[in-house]
Amino acid sequence: MAKPSKRSKTAARKAAPAAKPAPNIALRNGLIRGTIAALLVLLVGLALLDYRSKQEASTTAAGWREALRTKDEMQELNKSAFKKLPVSGLPTITSFQSATRSATENSSDTYAWKGIFRTYSVKVAFGLGNDPPVESIDGP
């Protein structure tokens, strides 16, 4: 059997490092992975902010409905007592006076919680009078 020459051993040693990826490719792959990870973290953060707005609206509406349910039949939940009920988060409040003066609804307040992707709103309708009773609560 013939022994391999020194030149072929040297050529094999030189060929092995050439098979490794160049450092700029590894750096590029790391930058791509880092960018994708940052985008995913950003999207999850935005989704959590939107979910928090939805939960604040749902929690507030459920509390208001429970207060409306617990009032006796003889005693109504008036607007002054309603304004003292707790509100989760910081909604935007819009008041509306009915121009048609319907028999049951005189005014309404809309509470809106702005999320990143959607706006969650709860509409509270009030009846007639100086301190009108709460007629209905519509929303999440």
User: Could you tell me the pLDDT band of residue 2, with boundaries at 50, 70 and 90?
Assistant: low
| Percent of the chain whose predicted confidence (pLDDT) is above 90 | 46
CB neighbour list of residue 51: distance below 8 Å, 6 or more residues apart: 115
Tell me, yes or no, if the pTM score tops 0.75: no
In the chain, what are the domain boundaries? Answer: 22-138
pLDDT at 129: 81
The DSSP annotation for 76-91 comes to --BHHHHTTS---S--
Q: What is the DSSP letter of 17?
A: H
Tell me the residue length of the chain. 140
pLDDT, tens digit (0-9, with 9 covering 90-100), for 55-109: 999 999 999 999 888 876 668 888 899 999 999 999 999 998 876 655 555 889 9
Measured between alpha carbons, how far is 116 from 19 in angstroms, rounded to an integer?
Answer: 48
Q: Is the pLDDT of residue 20 over 70?
A: no
